Amino acid sequence: KTSIMHTEIILAGCTEPNFRDEGSISKMGVSTPEAFINKILLPGEKADLATEILKLSGYDDDENEVVQEAKNS
């Protein structure tokens, strides 16, 4: 799913805020970094953030192409 891919891109690409911080995760009342992201970001915000992370990482291709490449590898 694209939503799962967005979440993984955000986890890999964001250093601040640290979505893996145990204290922040528990403060939000969730148990995983993925749930933390899903609780504080709307779906469109996740898509926008993931797209920007990809651009900053040098992947200027269409996001759907990147997702398809990741699925096929």
Per-residue model confidence as pLDDT tens digits over 8-25 = 999 999 989 899 999 999
pLDDT of residue 31: 96
pLDDT digits (tens, 9 = 90+) for 17-72: 899 999 999 999 999 999 999 999 999 999 999 999 999 988 776 666 767 777 77
What pTM value is reported for the model? 0.76
pLDDT at position 20, please?
Answer: 94
Q: Which residues contact 6 (CB under 8 A, 6 or more apart)?
A: 46, 47, 49, 50
Nearest CA-CA partner of 37 in 11, 1, 16 = 11
Query: CA–CA separation, 41 vs 53, rounded Å?
Result: 15
